[in-house]
Structure 1
Amino acid sequence: MRVIAGKARRINLVTPNGLDVRPTTDRIKETLFNMINVDVFDCNFLDLFSGSGAIGIEALSRGAKKATFVEKSIDSLKCIEQNLEKTKLSDMAIIIKTDVLNALNRLQEKNEKFDMIFMDPPYEEGFYCKVISLIEQNDLLDKDGIIICESSIDTNFDFIDQTIYHIVKEKTFRTNKFTFIRCSS
């Protein structure tokens, strides 16, 4: 796995060992960033369930002004730190070492707002509804911002309150998909 484009282009990233992490492949990551490229520059990016940090690092490499990484696994946290050092992007990064639900409450206490929020939680653990609800409750998404969910193909987003958010796009791959969600107002 490597950084695809930008100032850290071609730098290889380390990934955590084991089956608990499913790194987004370079091909799928490239497709994602081709879709959101114009919105990445100068954005405040939140990478939830960060794993190796590859998505947030790609955003920083492509011009995001800041990326916040949220991860609770010690092995993954070590990878994020190593990858930020390798890419020389540490000064633009904040790492929050806790579970996502706790982190979202902490970010609200700091009055943080994000232009892009990316999440790739464990597929079968029902995090999507909880996390999106907490993002809305804590007012963490900028009014013109976007939430991007990486999920299994069969993940259903019918729980989204259409008065608050709406799905603007879905991009389906062989085994997973990206769902793009924006504020309705």
Structure 2
Amino acid sequence: MRVISGKSRGTKLEAPEGMNTRPTVDRIKETLFNMISFDIPGCTFLDLFSGSGAIGIEALSRGAKQAVLVEHYADALKCISKNLEKTRLQDDAIVYNIDIYTALQRIHQKNQRFDIIFMDPPYALDGIERVMQCIQTYDLLNEKGYVILERGTTPAPLQFENFELIKEKTYKTTTLSFFERIQ
């Protein structure tokens, strides 16, 4: 796993061992960032369920103004810290070491809003609807902002109240779904 492009290009990133995280493979990460490349420079980026921090770090490397990373798993947090140091991007990152719902509430209390929210939750997590509801309720998206959900490929399409699916890219075992707020 490495940083694909930008000022930290080629930097090898650490990932936690075990099955508690599932890093986005470089092929999917590269496709994702090609799809959003014009939106990255100067954006505010929220990386939920950050794992190793690779997605938020890639956004920073490509010119995001700030990335907020949320991860509760201790081994993953150690990797995030090491990866931010290796890439020298720690000054532009904020890391929350708390559960996802508490983090979203704190982000709201700090009046932070984002252009892009990326989330790669555990595929078995049943709380995606609640996370999307928090994003809506706490008004965490800027006006033209969008949410990207990485999930296991299933035949069932996702629908969330107050969000519209605007595009989707499906791979063998992974689907990237893009949602905008319904105005």
> What TM-score do you get using the length of structure 2 for normalisation?
0.97
Report how far residue 20 of structure 1 moved: 1.1
**Identity fraction in percent:** 51
Distance across 2 between alignment mates of 1:7 and 1:155: 38
Report how far residue 148 of structure 1 moved: 0.2
What are the Cα deviations for residues 32-89 of structure 1, in whole angstroms up to 9, with x where unaligned?
0000000011000000000000000000000000000000111000000000000000
> What TM-score do you get using the length of structure 1 for normalisation?
0.96
Report how far residue 184 of structure 1 moved: 1.9
The alignment status of 1:181 with 2:179, answered yes or no, reads yes
Distance across 2 between alignment mates of 1:7 and 1:104: 29
Distance across 1 between alignment mates of 2:63 and 2:82: 20
Q: Which amino acid aligns with 1:153?
A: T
Please list, as runs of the form range in 1=range in 2, the aligned pairs for 1:81-160 lying within 5 A after superposition.
81-154=81-154, 156-160=156-160
Please tell me whether the aligned partners of residues 113 and 142 of structure 1 are also in contact (alpha carbons under 8 angstroms): yes
1:169 is matched with: 167
Distance across 1 between alignment mates of 2:103 and 2:27: 29
- Secondary structure at the counterpart of residue 123 of structure 1: coil
Please tell me whether the aligned partners of residues 169 and 175 of structure 2 are also in contact (alpha carbons under 8 angstroms): yes
Query: Could you list the runs of 5+ residues in structure 1 that have no partner in the other structure?
Result: none
Q: CA RMSD in A?
A: 1.0
Q: Which amino acid aligns with 1:168?
A: I
Report how far residue 157 of structure 1 moved: 4.9
Change in Cα spacing, 1:155 to 1:45, as seen in structure 2 (3 Å) is farther
Report how far residue 158 of structure 1 moved: 4.0
Query: Could you list the runs of 5+ residues in structure 2 that have no partner in the other structure?
Result: none
